[in-house]
Structure 1
């Protein structure tokens, strides 16, 4: 028993941070679990996945969506939670009400910390990834459990049912979304003109994160990558404001140093963050 206890203590000392992504698979590799796992790896976090759906997609669009059975999703979460353990988790594509309910149930059952919700609704090419009936389920079941939720402007508009045209509108959206229950809200302003400005709201104060805008069509998976970077940092124990700042730098590098792949909306460059000091 003493030897087992000593081994457990040693493992605790040497254990790497662990992050789980619960999301859909992108066969093109630019978004979904593929983007998440790449981001986790670059940020030195051990990545795990629970697939909710398999998509057939590339830079030109989504050509097929195949949701997994609820039992399969639940078993994946159970498998990693009961053996490897989870320091942070993010959700991506959760297209149907039963999937959202199952994920919320498992997060509560396993008491998984540091939940990051990327409210994926529409793919870069325009395909709907969240059914209309699922929007309220997301608000009711997952947002109250969230450490942070990271909507872009179109997603925030859906969540609050009003247009967002200015920075003041972004702040009001953050307030309204915070009322749904998450501890923190990051409203991403990439769809506005000018510099790329994101706003973090903690229920009392706002903080702005600004980076230069890089004009490119290769922005597939930006939301997945940004939220995955926050998840990775939370898994390490990084405070939320620093985690958002690192994620902002990560996605800025990934957009700036484009890979130029595909004929449509190509993927971002997940390696670019490692080369940021050489620019």
Structure 2
């Protein structure tokens, strides 16, 4: 009896080539991001009344910041978005190239165009994005919690606000080397006795206040302009609007920031 032959088939072998590795270099000429640095992601913007985002490209790119509050504009007290003057200049310049901007607050996004809005310069380096009163009803519903910010008034709040417990807010990434944007960030800051001499004077900042990060780490990049700064009320911990961040031409090089005071 002859046994049935068996055929042993060797398993095919596969040559495995290691996947190429990619080294990510930090360019010496990296474009600065426009976002707050070394901060924490804000998961709930409700405590920060009025915090707003100036965007383009259908809300996908953040360009500047603003804050919704009430202030005196040309002798009339009215609800406005307060920002840094440089942000208005950017909006006006880009309009010449048919690039429009929106302002986002809460669940709403509005195009910054006439006749809905009027742009005007405010005092001490600030700028106003004013709602035409005909469209003011658009502000009736901003979402579950957003509302007009409570601004600092020295005559009624002197001694009632803790200037060592403050927050700077801005939209986007905390990475100084990319333009990736991840939402709203905050960083703890405190009023500094310094005059922010490390920061280049960029115009109407003679009356600016100087703040410094609590951590001592660098804070912002060149276009975090208009980001609101709040300090805590000593009685109820309410975040009180102090002002907005001014223009900085450099990036990731100082823990200090000039803050344009609320133009009340």
TM-score by length of 1: 0.29
More RCO (CA 8 Å, sep 6+): 2
Instruction: Name the structure with the higher strand share.
Output: 2
Instruction: Name the structure with the higher helix share.
Output: 1
Pick the structure with greater CA Rg: 2
